[in-house]
Chain A
Amino acid sequence: MPYPQEKIKAELKAERARLHKLRLEQQGLPEGHGTSQKKMTKQERRELQEAQRLAKINGQPLKKSDSKSIHLEDKHKIQMQLGVSPKDSSSPLIAQIANMAITSSSSSTNPLSTSGLTPGITGGTGALNQRITEKALEAAMIQEKKVRMFEHLEEPNSRSFSGPPSDKWRGSSLTSISEGTECEKPVPSTKKPIPVHPAVKSAGLKMACFEIDGANERAAAMLKAFAIAINDYKTPPQQTMARHLQTYLNPQISYFVQQRPLTIGMGNAIRWLKEKISLVDIDKDEASTKRELISLIASYIQERIHAAIESVAEYGASKIKDGDVILIYGHSSSVLKMLIRAFKEDKVKFNVIVIDSRIGFWGQKTVRQLVAAGMARKPMEIGELVPSSIHNTDPVGHTNSSGSQAQNICGNVSYAYITSLGYVMKQASKVILGVEAIMGNGALLSRSGTSMVALAAHNYRVPVLVSCESYKFTDRVQLDSVVSNELGNPENLIWTPSESKQNWISPNKHSKSLVSNTMMAINYSPLASDRFGAWPSLNNTRTFVDLASQSKTLLPHPSTNFPNLNLLSKSKAINNMIATSAIGSTTIKHTKPQDKSTILDPIDKQEALKKWDLLEQENPLAKWREQPSLKILDITRDITPSKFVSVIITELGLIPTTSIPVVLREYKN
């Protein structure tokens, strides 16, 4: 289904597709490697299968698309380049790669040691072989870097993996929306795949890159996208809308799931929508049914989400009293609304402590919004400086003492990391938390760190108020955070922010939008583009990076025959650095392949190398790929036991955690 977005980028897409096909053609399909298989152990065989699977996935679109139309000349040319005859180009190579993967993953042996055995992978074969090995190595790497306890959880973004591996990244990237079509999962029940609606795609991608984050925003955005999708829906001939609309929506829903796991609120909304669709009167005409559904969705967004937030804010604000010190964690739209309401409308005099944590630094967003609402103290003028206030080095003094800063006693905003909770918690008189969902057993499902804040509050005997709209209640129960969770990209933890290290990206003054704030934490990575993709940056192969890796000089040590894991990631990172700097100056879209190579002039590369070395020094985890037993785990959600919670603020009023199943029951009837 042609949508305008795709037309705009058709040119770029065509070029990429051509290059992609060429690559696939070079790789061929894996066949006949039985001889080597017999000697392998069970684990080794599995590794090999993994490698084959990857190769096959590469091959798949080849079969689907018009593979025969690829110019034979091109194919021949490349094979000549590689110095490989057409017949033996595929199978031994794959076996070798598999071996590589095995040696690198199964033990701590250096992949370099095997380099002598594989003269085919050196020198002239260049970029192609490197790419294939990269993929095998990467698969092995993902396997190796898994924490066993969390093996049951999906790898970050692997759910968006349904196209060829190289599109894994593109599938969830904003920058290449045109590639998205390749990611569609064919729905088994229908012969023709139902395309994902661009509105859904747009919302899904924004969620994948955390531009839309927060349970409420995500649920609202999803429902809005569904409304648009239903609006554009046309019942195919010989189908009834009531029946077919369901099948039409399924790929839209699964697209959202692919991008990021749904929140409980989203799941509840989908269930509600499905129920409404199933209740559609078959005899009604299409237009009025659509109208009815759209208005239903609009009212759901309005009543269950927006109005609910408002009334939660109202109830919550009534609990904030003069002199309170409210401690909040991260960012929550309803908590923020509550505080601003109490400050502006109810004119309550209170202070706020914002607790923040890696990786998102959502608390900074909260702080900004509080300051924008007028909560912070005014910047101090030189005239106001009196010795006493200078020497009052205890910054907590303002919160509980009526000392020299009496005039500033209300509306102060403090900001601290979660590690200093023990230090700040004793100042707080109330803790207000926003959550993603509340389980049937009263446990809170929320961003990780919430449980720590609630625990500290519990230990310091500070009441914990939880704001939650009732559409986020669920029957599901969960006791701990390990059984079900969402894993983040581990590579995001490698880079540490510090102004002294010049790693902060100062927020753009002109765009105080969501993106600039929430992406701040992400941008200081030299692998910034990796943020969007599956975590090993090896996947992030863009055309210019491919071209770059063809030049042999890119490997820091040309003497090594086989790039070991470190070099792979390092060279990739350096490529990325160079590429991103190049994007700044030139528009890559319009340059021809020959011109692109000029981007990588040696000076830039040296600079990039220097920068990388510096980064490696400052961030000891940068070399984590080299250390097989070093793993990084980013758990993004946690479960807060219900005993830490004093009260839940919903639009229905203030209820205890034990009332969740009761409320759910009421809703059902």
Chain B
Amino acid sequence: MSTKDLSYLIDNFTLKLDQSKDCSSLKKALETANLIKNVVNSSKWDDPNTLMELIRFTGKKIVKTSQKDLVLFNVICRMTHLVRTEAKNYRNTLEIASNTNNNTPKQSGMSTPVMGLGQSTYNSVGKLINLVELNLLQQSRIENTSRLNLKTFILQGINDFIEELENTRINIASHATDHIHSNEIIMTCGHSKTVERFLKNASRKRRFMVVITESAPSYQGHKLAAALASPDIETVVIPDSAAFAMMSRVNKVILGAHTVMANGGLITNSGAQMIAMAAKYHSTPVVVCAGLYKVSPLFPFDQDSFNTLVSPDGIFPYKDEISDQIDVLNPVCDYVGPEYVDLLVNHLGGHLPSYIYRLLQENYDDQDIVALCGTIS
């Protein structure tokens, strides 16, 4: 595949992304992963470094078009990390194979960076990165001959990742019964598909009540309520203003998230912060259901850094004669600080917000983040 084809592929993708504004973040992540898979599959690359460059090029273009959608950013970063790990593993196996063939002792210097990658990149980042890149270059000649093999490894890795994405909701939902007891009153807001699945799964074994704030101005809560209401789940829709009044009776707050930030805070739909605050005041635990692909390596340095203000259309009519004399604020997102979050549930299980850094180390590389970060304003 030529660069022309590649950019055509990317343009096609971004266009599709643009058109489907309401599509879920999981779908976006899947699409991105598939795109990368396509790139790996159909483009020409001789060594992992070229491939990495290709993926970065693609990633930069995608991330640029969807500025605040960190899920895409996360997926690209994980992809590059995956390629790097696969390349290293592959080289390692080659090494071992050649070592066993030649009956020579294993070079310890080669294997150390591989073993220590996850833990040590953060300690001496620059030094190690250089070392890794150097190693990759050195190895590239050997790998040239067996590029096809490496490709299958990488594709296998991507497929595993896609599988993880596809099963993420089911896996998260499987933890539901660990967190919900019978006759519980649960509050949630907005419409997170993950939370919907989570609650539905719990309803198979428990009977409980869900209180949903309607989340004006998107009124996504209505959708969730209509989807959730079943004989096993008593669903109550309340206006956003009544969240504090109801909180005194709520046992648990379960939220979805757009992104989980590196500090354990959340970017969620607007209104969630208020609910989290009310929960904190009433000492009600806040459980957040979010897939691993939503865990972002970026820090929210400012509360508004990942927020967007959208058209006020939904909250104040344009037609109104005074609409041009006032400022109508309609933020889509809300930032919920880690101090409000009691538990983050992903497919691996429940974690404290303070544990996020560990997940980050296992799934991302600093150099990718740095490389891609430039595109995020």
Contact = CB atoms under 8 A, between A and B. Distances in A.
B250 to A, nearest CB: 11
B246 to A, nearest CB: 7
A358 B240 contact: yes
Interface in B263-290: 270-271, 273-274, 277-278, 281
A638 B314 CA distance: 26
A412 B327 contact: yes
Interface string A404-445: 000000001111111111111010000000000000000000
Contact of B238 (A108, A368, A635): A635
A421 B276 CA distance: 12
A24 B236 CA distance: 37
A499 B314 contact: yes
A498 B217 contact: yes
Q: Which of A420, A481, A623, A633 has the most CB of B within 10 A?
A: A420
Contacts of A632: 236-238
B80 to A, nearest CB: 31
B307 A619 contact: no
Interface string A370-390: 010000111110000000000
B214 interface: yes
Contact of A108 (B225, B231, B239, B318): B231
Contact of B328 (A416, A493, A504): A416
B122 interface: no
B244 A452 contact: yes
B215 interface: yes
Interface in A447-473: 447-449, 451-452, 455-456, 459
Interface in B294-328: 303-304, 307, 309, 312-322, 324-328
A414 B314 contact: no
A380 B236 CA distance: 44
B197 to A, nearest CB: 18
Interface size class for chain A? 35 or more
A396 interface: yes
A500 B214 CA distance: 19
Given A455-B281, A499-B319, A635-B242, A421 B274 contact: yes
B171 interface: no
Nearest to B340: A459
A631 B236 CA distance: 5
B242 A638 contact: yes
A395 B326 contact: no
Interface residues of B, number: 62
A627 B229 contact: yes
Contacts of B249: 149, 482
Given A419-B215, A630-B225, A459 B248 contact: no
Contacts of A147: 236
Nearest to A631: B236
Interface in B210-259: 214-217, 219, 222-223, 225-227, 229-246, 248-249
B331 interface: yes
Contacts of B238: 632-635
A638 B274 CA distance: 15
A633 B242 contact: yes
A42 interface: no
B335 interface: yes
Contacts of A637: 245
A482 B237 contact: no
B222 A619 contact: yes
A485 B238 CA distance: 14
A241 interface: no
Contacts of B214: 358, 493, 496
Contacts of A417: 216-217, 240, 270, 315, 330
A43 B100 CA distance: 80
Contacts of B225: 620-621, 630
A455 B281 CA distance: 8
A629 B229 CA distance: 6
B274 A414 contact: no
B235 A631 contact: yes
Contacts of B348: none
Contact of B245 (A371, A420, A630, A638): A638
Contacts of B328: 414-416
Nearest to A449: B241
Given A629-B233, A633-B242, A635-B245, A420 B320 contact: no
Contacts of A634: 238-239, 242
B334 interface: yes
B329 interface: yes
Contact of A423 (B230, B234, B304, B318): B304
A367 interface: yes
A376 B245 contact: no
A378 B326 CA distance: 9
A504 B317 contact: yes
Contacts of A639: 245
A605 interface: no
Contact of B242 (A376, A448, A456, A623): A448
B327 A393 contact: no
A190 to B, nearest CB: 41
A147 B210 CA distance: 11
A357 interface: yes
A271 to B, nearest CB: 27
A629 B231 contact: yes
B309 to A, nearest CB: 6
B226 A358 contact: no
Nearest to A620: B226
A628 interface: yes
Interface in A564-607: none
A412 B157 CA distance: 55
A419 B240 contact: yes
A661 B233 CA distance: 44
Interface string B34-72: 000000000000000000000000000000000000000
Contacts of B233: 629
Q: Which of B227, B240, B303 has the most CB of A within 10 A?
A: B240
B274 A452 contact: yes
Given A418-B274, A419-B215, A627-B229, A506 B317 contact: yes
B339 to A, nearest CB: 10
A659 B208 CA distance: 42
Contact of A379 (B219, B319, B325): B325
A610 B220 CA distance: 23
A142 to B, nearest CB: 15
Contacts of A377: 325-326
A424 B329 contact: yes
B248 A395 contact: no
Contacts of B216: 357-358, 417-419, 496
Interface of A: 108, 147, 149, 356-359, 364, 367-368, 371, 376-380, 393-396, 398, 412-424, 426, 447-449, 451-452, 455-456, 459, 480-482, 485, 493, 496-500, 504, 506-507, 509, 619-621, 623-624, 627-635, 637-639
9 contacts: A394-B309, A416-B329, A419-B216, A419-B240, A423-B329, A498-B217, A620-B223, A627-B226, A630-B237
Q: In the A-B complex, list the 6 residue pairs whose CB atoms are closest, starting with the nearest.
A: A449-B241, A419-B271, A422-B273, A481-B245, A630-B229, A376-B325
Given A367-B326, A420-B329, 11 more contacts: A376-B322, A395-B329, A415-B316, A415-B328, A419-B216, A419-B217, A419-B274, A496-B214, A629-B230, A633-B237, A634-B242
